[in-house]
Structure 1
């Protein structure tokens, strides 16, 4: 699943203090290999360089 800017997501990273919290995609970038990386804002903290596997869609 790919995400777009302003999509609401759940951030998943068991080693990060914001793991499991809801945020929103603020930027979508493409790597030179054609993969998408995401920058997400969670509680006024911006977390960049995220892969699709670190995000979960929020219904609604």
Structure 2
């Protein structure tokens, strides 16, 4: 792949990330978000920690 092509792809990826960040900022400005503490509290209520599978490695 040529350097020009790599540079163009990197620039395109950068533009896409910047657009995503701008979109997120607009959502926040419009109040379209939930408080992180409330989200985690709701998750804990709906899925208590003991309902998740163990993360221990299986015994052999």
TM-score using structure 2 length: 0.15
Which structure has greater strand proportion?
1
| Greater relative contact order (Cα < 8 A, sep 6+) | 1
Higher helix share: 2
Which has the greater radius of gyration? 2
TM-score w.r.t. the length of structure 1 is 0.15
